[in-house]
């Protein structure tokens, strides 16, 4: 019943190429826990950032300590190895399974008055971090080149990277 609700909600959010198979997203033998596209995951990350930011609260830090309702102190470590190297990082979500490979979605502020979301799917366990780092660097180079302003003028003010 829960997975059916997840798929229904995905459809409501416009995630046309995403299907959840189980609630965890983990592989079940030779079966993926779900499938989706980078575009759909970008849409989902944007929705979370705009409507449920508490879901990725503190994922811009390497570690965070918190006290649970039973009074115990817990320390959570981020598995995003590049968390401290991405300028303007606002949040991140990592994932890895044998079948899906290494996945990473980030949202960051590049100083453009709107967040930028980068999603890498199907990379290696370690490669997902350097892949995102390469895309972040390329985005900053693109912005610095001045082409960003030109593209906005020719495409209209609603364009986003």
- Residue 9: phi and psi, rounded to 5, are -65, -40
**Structural domain boundaries, residue 98:** 37-155
How many domains does the chain divide into? 1
What pLDDT, on the 0 to 100 scale, is given for residue 146?
A: 77
Residue 149 inside a domain? The answer is: yes
Q: Is residue 23 part of a domain?
A: no
Q: According to the model, what pLDDT value does residue 158 have?
A: 45
In a domain, 5, yes or no: no
Specify if 126 maps to a domain.
yes
Under-50 pLDDT residues of the chain:
155-161
41 by Cβ neighbours in 10 Å (0-12 / 13-18 / 19+) ranks as buried
Has residue 104 been placed in a domain?
yes
The phi, psi pair for 90, rounded to 5°, reads -110, -30
pLDDT of residue 126: 96
DSSP secondary structure string, 33-94?
A: SEE--HHHHHHHHHHHHHH-GGGGTTTTSSEEEEE-TTS-EEEEE---TTTTTSTTEEEEEE
SS3 state of residue 21: coil
CATH code of residue 150: 3.40.710.10
Q: Does residue 86 sit within a domain? A: yes
18 occurs within a structural domain: no
Ramachandran bin of 85, using left for φ above 0, alpha for ψ from -120 to 50, beta for the remaining angles: alpha
């Amino acid at each position: 019943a829960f997975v059916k609700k997840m798929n229904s909600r995905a459809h409501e959010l416009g995630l046309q190429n995403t299907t959840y198979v189980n609630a965890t997203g983990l592989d079940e033998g030779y079966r993926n826990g779900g499938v989706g596209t980078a575009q759909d995951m970008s849409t989902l990350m944007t929705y979370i950032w705009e409507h449920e930011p508490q879901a990725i609260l503190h994922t811009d830090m390497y570690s965070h300590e918190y006290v649970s309702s039973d009074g115990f102190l817990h320390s959570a470590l981020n598995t995003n190895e590049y968390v401290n190297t991405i300028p303007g990082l606002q949040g991140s979500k990592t994932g890895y399974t044998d079948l899906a490979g290494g996945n990473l979605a980030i949202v960051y502020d590049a100083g453009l008055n709107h967040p930028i979301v980068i999603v890498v799917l199907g990379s290696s366990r370690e490669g997902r971090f350097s892949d995102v780092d390469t895309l972040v660097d390329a985005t900053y180079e693109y912005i610095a080149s001045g082409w960003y302003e030109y593209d906005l003028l020719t495409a209209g003010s609603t364009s986003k990277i």
